[in-house]
Amino acid sequence: MLEAIQHLSGNILFDIGLILVMAMLVAYVAKLIKQPLIPAYIIAGLILGPIGLGIIKDTEIIKSISEIGIIFLLFIVGIEMDFKKLKSLGLTAIITGTLQIGFTFLAGYFIFNNFLHFDQLNSIYAGLIIAFSSTMVVLKLLSDEEELLTLHGRLILGILFVQDIFVILALTIFVGADSITIMSLLPVLGKFIGLMLFAYLLNRFLIFPIFKFAAKSQELLFLLSLGVCFIFVMIAHLLGLSVAIGALLAGITIANIPYNLNIVSSVSPLKDFFAVIFFVSLGLQMIMPEIGSILTPFFILLALTILLKPFIILLVLSLIGYDKRNSFTSAISLAQISEFSLILVITVKDISQELFSATILLAIFSIALTSYIIKYELQIYHILSKPLTIFEYLRLSKRYEQKEKKHNKKIVLFGYHRMGKTFMKALKKLKRSVLVIDYNPDAIEELTEQRIACRYGDMANLEVLKSINLKDAKVVISSAPKQQDNIYLLKYLKKVKSKAIVFVTANQLYEALDLYDYGADYVIVPKIMSGESVSLILQKFMENKKGLTKVKKEHLKHLLEISDEERL
């Protein structure tokens, strides 16, 4: 059977089909055991490639096709880049991101050049490989954990954005230049600036009117967006720059038009298809040299990625004034290498096989490890909480901390997002005073303007819980659906012997059952509760419509209020 498959190998359609089938099988297993998909795709390539079954031998054609995946991936990244975000995030992201990239790069370069005796160019590549973190992986994991709007979520987004800007420069220099000297870099930078100027003029005078006309037809809008993408790719190629740079600038050029979300949704299936082939091709190209020659570079790269890089971020954020909880969470969430690092090793010239293979292994380990780190971040934080206290003494100022005020509120509400606001409205109608705890700075500003008692903090932070005096509370409500945080809250309430009635929230039925076991008085499961609410309305108004009009008006008003808040 294997011999028959190997005999058919070499036919491009058969090879692509085989890649997709293997990627599907490995990705399915990865999902069953709750692993990220990018390492799974690389493993599929390892299985099919020279160090595995050796079925696919002609990797050059696959590599050429995978470049289309790079183009679509960076095109969408460009569309989703918003330079206005950098301004709103302030100097913190710029300072932290720049220092982290600089020190991580220098450490990688110094160790590989002086201790492992790699040549200068490969030492530079080693520094660049570990300098950047994965925007794609981290954003997906933060979104799954509903932490994008938290303070640490915003810090992470800001640092990733700064990294992406440096990636553009790195790809421009190391793919476009024949040698790394001042004289050789000047023409490359000149071409890059020229392409950026072309992108600016196109955006300023032409993009909006032509896309406004094309938006009348989804098919024409799709084709026009692809046309703009490949115009930039071809110009970049003719100028001797990386096609990745062309795709990224094409995305940035159309990022601010009103139809960008439609473009992303229509191009995403193509991106997903070719991106799978790209990540599989990385595994296909991996040739395992002598095991001893790859282990040392791999473990050094791994240590720099998961230890040094987070330490630098933690140190810088602490010095700027952020508390140890947000600094630590931001730091460990970025302990992986970027998909851009993979693009770099596949496109640059003269990279050593040892460094290439070590980078592929590093991507598999660090990205997979990140999924566990973010999932169990709370437990890791509590284990390291005491040693991390040293970073509190390094704070030159204290950000997002309020002066401790005594309160006599008998109701404490954790979380002021959509469900939290619904609770607040109900409590206001009952004329009950509440203390609100939230880790979103915007929510705290809004509550302060409304003169509602509030405090910035995370309910999984022991110092925050101690400052609230929960022992004397009569009612404690958590609108946050994160199970580990709710378990931590319930354990703390039990520890201080609180007699409060405790309401917590869960996304899944099995989580609700676990929370009852931990002592919750009532667990809110939004999916089930919405069904229960509708059933009550049906029972009340199914045969008699009187009163339903009033319920409808109140519900419509509530939905419009939420819609207005989300638009703002």
pLDDT tens by residue, 483-542: 888 888 899 888 888 888 888 888 887 888 888 888 888 888 876 666 556 565 556 655
Element (H, E) at 305: none
Judge whether 48 lies within some domain: yes
Q: 373 and 510: one domain?
A: no
Mapping DSSP to helix (H, G, I), strand (E, B) and coil, where does residue 438 land?
A: strand
The confidence score (pLDDT) of residue 178 equals 58
The answer to whether residues 443 and 359 belong to one domain is no
Evaluated on CA atoms 299, 301, 306, 307, the torsion sign reads positive
Q: How confident is the model at residue 108 (pLDDT cuts 50, 70, 90)?
A: very high
Does the pLDDT of residue 559 top 60, yes or no? Answer: no
Domain count, the chain: 2
Query: Is 529 a domain residue?
Result: no
Contact 49, 59 (CB under 8 A): yes
Q: Are residues 287 and 433 in the same domain?
A: no
Provide the pLDDT for residue 40. 86
Rounded Cα–Cα distance for residues 104 and 81 (Å): 24
Query: Does 546 reside within a domain?
Result: no
Q: What is the 3-state secondary structure (H, E, C) of 373-425?
A: HHHCHHHHHHHHHHHHHHHHHHCCCCCCCCCCCCCCCCEEEECCCHHHHHHHH
102-126 b/e (C-beta count within 10 Å ≥ 16 → b)? ebbbebbbebbbeeeebeebbbbbb
- Residue 566's pLDDT is 47
Decide if 399 is inside a domain.
no
Between CA 166 and CA 482 the distance in angstroms is 34
- Nearest CA-CA partner of 221 in 206, 205, 210: 210
Tell me the torsion sign for CA atoms 516, 520, 526, 532: positive
Task: Calculate the alpha carbon distances from 419 to 413, 416, 526 in Å.
Answer: 11, 7, 9
We report the CATH number of the domain holding residue 478 as 3.40.50.720
**77 falls within a domain:** yes
* Band (400; pLDDT cuts 50, 70, 90): low
Q: Which of 390, 425, 445 is the last residue of a domain?
A: 390
Residues 244 and 377 in one domain: yes
**Length of the chain counted residue by residue:** 568
- DSSP three-state, residue 56: coil
List, for residues 274-288, the tens digit of each pLDDT value: 778 878 887 887 776
Pick the closest to residue 5 from 66, 61, 54 (CA basis). Answer: 54
Quick one: which H or E segment has residue 455?
A: strand 454-456
Per residue, the 3-state secondary structure of 226-255, as one string, reads HHHHHHHHHHHHHCCCCHHHHHHHHHHHCC
Range list of β-strands (E), 93-180: none
- Residue 542 resides in a domain: no
Residue 523 main-chain phi, psi, to 5 deg:
-110, 120
Range of the domain at 472: 411-524
Residue 225 to residue 219: CA distance in whole angstroms: 10
State the average pLDDT for the chain: 80
What does the pLDDT average to over 462-473?
A: 80
CB 509 within 8 Å of CB 484: no
Identify the top-confidence range among 300-304, 348-352, 482-486. 300-304
pLDDT at 545 over 70: no
Q: Compute the distance between CA of residue 489 and CA of residue 482 in angstroms, rounded to an integer.
A: 11
Q: Tell me what pLDDT residue 568 has.
A: 47
User: Do 282 and 417 fall within a single domain?
Assistant: no
Contact 101, 166 (CB under 8 A): yes
Does the pLDDT value for residue 112 go beyond 90? yes
pLDDT of amino acid 567: 47
* Residue 397, domain member (yes or no): no
Tens-digit pLDDT profile for residues 30-43: 888 877 788 888 88
What CATH number is associated with residue 356? 1.20.1530.20
φ, ψ (nearest 5 deg) of residue 124: -65, -45
Q: In Å, how far are 43, 192, 404, 513 from 385, measured between CA atoms?
A: 36, 46, 21, 29
Residue 8 is predicted with a pLDDT of 52
313 and 437 within one domain: no
d(CA 127, CA 110): 8
Question: In Å, how far are 5, 20, 270, 321 from 23, measured between CA atoms?
Answer: 16, 5, 16, 45
Please state the φ and ψ torsions of residue 411, each to the nearest 5 degrees: -115, 125
Residues 422, 303 share a domain: no
Please check whether residues 231 and 344 belong to one and the same domain. yes
CA distance 410 to 420: 17
Assess if residue 40 is contained within a domain: yes
Residues 350 and 419 reside in one and the same domain:
no
Give yes or no for residue 9 having a pLDDT over 60. Answer: no
418 residue type, one letter: R
Angstrom distance (rounded) from CA 37 to CA 106: 31
State the pLDDT at residue 309. 95
| End-to-end CA separation in angstroms for the chain | 60
Q: Across the strands, what pairs with 523?
A: 504
Strands 454-456 and 475-478, by their bridges, are: unpaired
Give the angle subtended at the CA of 86 by the CAs of 82 and 90, to the nearest 5°.
Answer: 155
User: Residues 125, 271: one domain?
Assistant: yes
- How high is the pLDDT of residue 181? 62
424 and 382 within one domain:
no
Pair 292, 367 in one domain: yes
